[in-house]
């Protein structure tokens, strides 16, 4: 059997894909007890959301997503990234983030920003590995991390 990581497909998330597969997206979200997204969280319209959001699938099954939008400060902000607990640690999160980073860096933005809870060491390690740096601690305790476009 081929390595499952070789079967990961990352595509741009579009509204019709979200609507057709909303239950799969919610199932992934429901696996995370800290940040539970409901229908309205997924469906909210944000600037350039559909240009900078992606989903991952394996053999047609949605296994992860990353939802981002444009902020007025010149950054694309990652609002949420989640990978199904059944498919973690095989590179899906890294592939989703890389898709966003490449798209941002090929367009006229300063970089990518995100917030992470300080106890989420796996996520912080991934973000650091990809070049994100801690910018500040938010009032709620989350860490704002930024990946700036070079040059």
pLDDT at residue 121, as a whole number: 92
pLDDT tens sequence across 15-58: 999 999 999 999 999 887 666 788 888 989 999 999 999 999 99
Rounded Cα distance between 7 and 79, Å, is 26
| Residue 40 burial (C-beta neighbours within 10 Å; 0-12, 13-18, 19+) | exposed
Is residue 32 domain-resident? yes
Domain that holds residue 9: 4-109
Rounded Cα distance between 149 and 76, Å, is 11
pLDDT at residue 79, as a whole number: 95
pLDDT tens sequence across 54-66: 999 999 999 999 9
Is residue 128 domain-resident? no
Is residue 82 domain-resident? yes
Is residue 30 domain-resident? yes
pLDDT tens sequence across 107-149: 989 999 999 999 999 999 999 999 999 999 999 999 999 999 8
Tally of structural domains, the chain: 1
Instruction: Give the CATH number, domain containing residue 43.
Output: 3.40.630.30
Contact present, 47 and 69 (Cβ < 8 Å): yes
Contact present, 90 and 36 (Cβ < 8 Å): no
pLDDT tens sequence across 65-101: 999 999 999 999 999 999 999 999 999 999 999 999 9
Is residue 102 domain-resident? yes
pLDDT band at 1 (very low <50, low <70, confident <90, very high): very low
Rounded Cα distance between 42 and 28, Å, is 12
Is residue 114 domain-resident? no
Is residue 40 domain-resident? yes
Is residue 135 domain-resident? no
pLDDT at residue 111, as a whole number: 96
């Amino acid at each position: 059997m081929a390595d499952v990581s070789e079967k990961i497909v990352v595509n741009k998330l579009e509204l019709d894909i979200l609507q057709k597969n909303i239950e799969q997206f919610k199932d992934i979200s429901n696996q995370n007890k800290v940040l539970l997204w409901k229908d309205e969280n997924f469906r909210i319209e944000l600037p350039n959301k559909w240009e900078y959001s992606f989903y991952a699938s394996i053999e047609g099954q949605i296994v992860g997503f990353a939802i981002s939008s444009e902020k007025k400060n010149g950054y694309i902000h990652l609002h949420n990234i989640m990978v199904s607990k059944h498919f973690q640690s095989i590179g899906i999160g890294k592939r989703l983030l890389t898709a966003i980073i490449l798209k941002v860096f090929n367009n006229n933005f300063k970089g990518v920003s995100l917030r992470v809870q300080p106890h989420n060491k796996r996520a912080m390690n991934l973000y650091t590995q990809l070049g994100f740096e801690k910018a500040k601690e938010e009032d709620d305790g989350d860490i704002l991390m930024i990946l700036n476009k070079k040059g």
